[in-house]
Amino acid sequence: MTQEQHSGQRREETTAQDQDVVAAAGQDAGVDDLLDEIDGVLEQNAEEFVRGFVQKGGQ
Amino acid sequence: MSVHRVMGLETEYGVLAPTMPGANATMLSAQVINSYAALVRAGHGAIAGTHWDYTDETPLNDARGFTVERAAADPSQLTDVEPELDAEAVALSGGDAVLGDTLYSREGTEPEVLMNMVLGNGARLYVDHAHPEYSSPETTNPFDAVLWDQAGDHVALAAMRRIATLAGVPDVHLYKNNTDNKSVSYGAHENYLMPRSVPFEKIAAGLIPFFVTRQIICASGRVGRGMLGSHPGFQVSARADFFEAQIGLETTIRRPIINTRDEPHAHWEKYRRLHVIIGDANLGQVSTLLRTGTTALVLSMIEAGTAPALELRDPVAALQAISHDPTLRATVELVDGRRLTALEIQEIYAEAAADHCGATDATDEATVEIQRRWEETLAQLGTDVFSAAATVDWVAKYKLMSSYAQRHQVDFTDTRIAAMDLQWADIRPEKGLYHRLAERGMMETLYSGAQIAHAAANPPEDTRAYFRGRVLNQYPEHVVAASWDSVSFAVPGARRLERISTLEPLRGTKALVGELLDRDLEIGEFIASLRS
């Protein structure tokens, strides 16, 4: 696959994903309740958590 | 033709000490093993973990019929020697003298750091490179494989909880995932026993298109693309971007879709152990079931010569193209020029399996259920991807993140989405996002917490794991070493160790040795009875 094709494909996927974001959220009535809980459970400092999550090689 | 065959799963957990950034990963992993050993000791009195017997480990044998020279192998391939926690590793752990002290002088009685344990459920718990690894006991079907894989999470959680109770020791958090999104990946491997008579080329040819596409029914999802996760976007598989070859012996570098390690841990002339390195670790029980169940069906077809004859033009590129399109519309090219989606390829495999099961009258409950779930999952994914959110891990994760992104008006480059990706796999029920969904009944489960806890302490009854687990529970002070294919006993008065070979995975079962074990003989009598 050439670089050109690759980046073209990526653009297409991003568009498709944006559509799905919209579709997903409209579906569940109970989703708000769940997201409230997730907000409370998520690590306080997301940036520090993500930066600090460093692993060594495995199989 | 059925889903029944000897199989087992391996999980390498991501390991983190949040209050001690840069802590030595091997040290943290050893702490997990030793912590579980302490729990076992507390329950059973004597056992401090049983040494692993490396005699029959042959990680450099290649299924294509040759052996890699030791000197030419990558150091990470030398898995047949005890890993050492040397002075350098201790020194590198930087500023964690407390941690070191605790490991080396715990309760003043255990001078040795355990790197390996064999558990009473027949599993192996050990330090693999820089991760704690749980290798499940041998089971005979996908349902049991799921249960004893879940038991590993129970074991890991128990170890982690105990560490949290130790004063002066930093908490250790464990994650059932496959990458830190900073170039490093670690595995979730599957093992399937096959007759050696099946040619390896046939196995590889039948499996490659299946392995490239099965991610859509059972992968765990990942935020970011490329090994470094530097390109934005959600992808289907956590592991796809770390694969670079079609077939090979390595598992840590130039990772191949088909791994050729030929280390059967059983009668060599009779069996091969297919070592699968291309799966994602699953929190979800149904995703684990689909992963192992459909693979078992495909192996049956390969053995019978009825696997679909598909050949991808570029399997590694196809693996990544499919992973990078969570809408499942990407097509990949076959050598005959056709372009098919992953769904279409999976449907071809599922239909061939249905035909083959029909032709061979495979009507046992487990086989029928795997087929039904496979077909239903493909139908759901083909109609509305999100309708599979209760059973397919990547879909559940993607749906949760998409909802979150919409609520907060952010996209998939937001740090909170990246944090959710990691926290999805936190094995703590109160923190892990998978577990939060499951607790709300939004993920279908197959086993209760009580069943999983039972499997963490008791072996499957229909493989040699039964013998291994039961003797560890019953004669802990006499079992001095164990491996997949042997158990060694110290018998008072005997001049040497009694090494009992367990090269036949389907012996040592409850049906064969249960009654003998129930008699609870004195160890010498027990060994004599086994030998008679």
Residue B456 within any structural domain of the chain: no
pLDDT of residue B57: 78
Residues B400 and B480 in one domain: no
Query: pLDDT at residue B104 above 70?
Result: no
User: What is the number of helices (H) and of strands (E) in chain B?
Assistant: 17, 20
How close does chain B come to A25, measured CA to CA in Å?
A: 5
What is the number of domains present in chain B?
2
SS3 B449: helix
Q: Which residue of chain B comes nearest to A50, CA vs CA?
A: B419
| B210 phi/psi in degrees, rounded to 5 | -70, -50
Residues 475-494 of B with CB under 8 A from A: none
Q: Which of B53, B128, B144, B325 is catalytic?
A: B128
pLDDT of residue B22: 84
Q: Is B427 on the interface with A (CB under 8 A)?
A: no
Residues B346 and B286 in one domain: yes
Which chain B residues have a beta carbon less than 8 Å from that of A14?
232-233
Of the ranges B93-107, B247-261, B319-333, B444-458, which one carries the lowest mean pLDDT score?
A: B93-107
Residues B420 and B478 in one domain: no
Predicted confidence band at B60 (pLDDT cuts at 50, 70, 90)? confident
How does pLDDT run across A12-43, given as a tens digit for each residue?
Answer: 444 444 444 444 444 555 678 888 888 889 98
Residues B394 and B474 in one domain: no
Residues B351 and B318 in one domain: yes
Q: Do B469 and B522 form a contact (C-beta atoms < 8 A)?
A: no
pLDDT of residue A26: 47
Which of B11, B222, B402 is the best mutation test for A, with the most CBs of A within 10 A? B402
Residues B440 and B495 in one domain: no
Q: Do B323 and B219 form a contact (C-beta atoms < 8 A)?
A: yes
Predicted confidence band at B133 (pLDDT cuts at 50, 70, 90)? very high
Does B184 contact A23 at a Cβ distance shorter than 8 Å? Answer: no
User: What is the number of helices (H) and of strands (E) in chain A?
Assistant: 3, 0
Which of B426, B450, B474 lies at the terminal end of a domain, its last residue? B450
Q: Which of B12, B326, B431 is closest, CB to CB, to A58? A: B12
Predicted confidence band at A58 (pLDDT cuts at 50, 70, 90)? low
Q: Which of A9, A35, A52 is closest, CB to CB, to B407? A: A35
Which of B383, B415, B450 lies at the terminal end of a domain, its last residue? B450
Report the distance separating Cα B219 and Cα B229, nearest Å: 17
Pull the structure tokens for residue B228. 């470094």
Q: Quickly tell me which residue has 């009535």 as its tokens.
A: A29
Q: Do B162 and B35 form a contact (C-beta atoms < 8 A)?
A: yes
Question: Which domain covers residue B495, as residue numbers?
Answer: 464-531
Does B433 contact A41 at a Cβ distance shorter than 8 Å? Answer: yes
Q: Which of B12, B329, B423 is closest, CB to CB, to A42? A: B423
Residues B66 and B124 in one domain: yes
Residues B445 and B519 in one domain: no
Length of chain B in terms of residues written = 532
DSSP B329-385: --EEEBTTS-EEEHHHHHHHHHHHHHHHHHHTT---HHHHHHHHHHHHHHHHHHH-G
Query: pLDDT at residue B519 above 50?
Result: yes
Q: Which of A24, A49, A55 is closest, CB to CB, to B419? A: A49
Q: Quickly tell me which residue has 């004063």 as its tokens.
A: B167
Query: pLDDT at residue A8 above 80?
Result: no
Does B433 contact A16 at a Cβ distance shorter than 8 Å? Answer: no
C-alpha distances out from residue B338 to A2, B216, B349, B381, Å: 19, 20, 16, 22
Packing angle of the helix pair B142-165, B365-383 (nearest 10 deg): 80
Residue B295 within any structural domain of the chain: yes
B128 catalytic, yes or no? yes
Which chain B residues have a beta carbon less than 8 Å from that of A37?
436
- The count of CB pairs under 8 A between chains A and B is 151
Residues B431 and B471 in one domain: no
How close does chain B come to A3, measured CA to CA in Å?
A: 13
The whole-chain average pLDDT of chain B stands at: 90
- Which residue ranges make up each domain of chain A? 3-51
How does pLDDT run across B171-222, given as a tens digit for each residue?
Answer: 999 999 999 999 999 999 999 999 999 999 999 999 999 999 999 999 999 9
Which chain B residues have a beta carbon less than 8 Å from that of A55?
14-16, 25, 130-131, 179-180, 182, 184, 186
- Percent of chain B clearing pLDDT 90 (strictly above): 79
Predicted confidence band at B334 (pLDDT cuts at 50, 70, 90)? very high
Predicted confidence band at B49 (pLDDT cuts at 50, 70, 90)? low
Predicted confidence band at B90 (pLDDT cuts at 50, 70, 90)? very low
Q: Which residue of chain B comes nearest to A1, CA vs CA?
A: B317
